[in-house]
Amino acid sequence: MSLQAQQMQGLYGIWTWPSGSSATTHKGNVTTFFFLGFSSNAVYNLLLFTLVLILYIGTICGNLLIIMLVYYSKTLHSPMYFFLSQLSVSDIMLTTAISPNMMNIVLHERTPISFSGCITQCYVFGLTEAFECYLLTVMSYDRYLAICSPLHYTSIMKQSLCIKLVLASWIFSCLMTSLITSGISQLEFCGPNPIDYLYCDLNPLVELSCSDTSSIQIEETLLCFPVIALPFLVIVVSYTYIVLTLVKIPSISGRQKCFSTCSSHLTVVFIFYGTLIAAYMIPKKGQSQMISKIMSLLYTVFTPFINPFIYSLRNKDIKDSLKILYRKKSFFFN
């Protein structure tokens, strides 16, 4: 058992139930976990609940608007916006898996979640994050072709290839996430069962397990290469070639026009990998649990909220499509 689990065992004791109770036992072990919440201050929790609710509604509305615009607007029927709509689908899945339960945790101390529910939440979280890693890589390849090989862009980046790239991203994400969550589902949890976090993530579950978790930790480290490191390397290489191509363009206006086509994607890449590194790669030693919860809040709630605004506020095509949609609705209602 890990040190944190032993410390929490001393604080909360081992949770046990009658041996005949199948509702609360899994292989003779704990199967119901409790989230400890964010703070004991009711006013603070209410403000946090309101903030998460606003961000959740904004995330759903903003990403649904992006999907609707890409589907209905003919000017947005291009590979870049098709990939953008898939990013919106992923963000909706992520925030729906995390935010409603997070709001419940904020309002109610010791919010329960079943073992199967915890594994499901962990799976959806891992799936959407892995998919975003792959999708951002695909989008960087799309921008590389558009800027570095503009004459061959339309012949290479056909609709069939776009669909295949997205399907491959979903399939690889499902495969990688299934590998790690299947390992977690085989762990035994003897107690305690409080999770001092805001959602079911890999590390909090591993710390609570009384099984040997060395194989899970090795698997997690190995999967970081195909899921995080390799996609990031491809993105860096793609933008290296993009920058080298932009330098060769003689006019400043030409450089700005070309770079503007990938500035929104580059901004999302910085935000995504910045929060990813802050949440998982910065050493946790000496870091308070409150800081960890705030980082998880930014990573799972704020990032999906800000993505559609980055693309809509910095993208002329989307702003023009919004104006056309507004005019059509105004004409219809008048």
Q: Is 322 in contact with 69 (CB distance < 8 Å)?
A: yes
Strand 32-35 versus strand 111-114 pairing type: antiparallel
Distance CA 73, CA 320 (A): 10
The DSSP-derived string for 124-185 is HHHHHHHHHHHHHHHHHHHHHHHHH-TTTHHHHS-HHHHHHHHHHHHHHHHHHHHHHHHHHH
3-class state of residue 315 by DSSP: coil
Domain 3-333 part of CATH 1.20.1070.10 = yes
Q: At a CB cut-off of 8 Å and minimum separation 6, what does 178 contact? A: 123
Domain ranges of the chain: 3-333
Per-residue pLDDT at 295: 79
Characterise 188 by phi-psi region: left (phi > 0), alpha (psi -120 to 50), beta (else): beta
Eight-class DSSP state of 193: -
Question: In three state form, how does the secondary structure of 70-94 look?
Answer: HHHCHHHCCHHHHHHHHHHHHHHHH
Strand 32-35 versus strand 194-195 pairing type: parallel
Per-residue pLDDT at 284: 59
On the 0-12 / 13-18 / 19+ scale of CB atoms within 10 A, 297 is buried
Per-residue pLDDT at 297: 82
Eight-class DSSP state of 129: H
Per-residue pLDDT at 1: 45
Per-residue pLDDT at 6: 45
3-class state of residue 213 by DSSP: coil
Characterise 50 by phi-psi region: left (phi > 0), alpha (psi -120 to 50), beta (else): alpha
Low-confidence stretches of the chain (pLDDT < 70) are: 1-29, 39, 279-288, 313-314, 328-334
Per-residue pLDDT at 286: 54
3-class state of residue 194 by DSSP: strand
32 — phi, psi (to 5°)?
A: -120, 125
The DSSP-derived string for 263-313 is HHHHHHHHHHHHHHHHHHTS--TT--HHHHHHHHHIIIIIHHHHHHHHHHH
Long-range residue pairs from 276-282, CB within 8 A, at least 24 positions apart, any chain? 276/129, 276/228
Torsion of CA 92, 275, 295, 97, to 10 degrees: 20
Strand 111-114 versus strand 29-30 pairing type: unpaired
Per-residue pLDDT at 158: 93
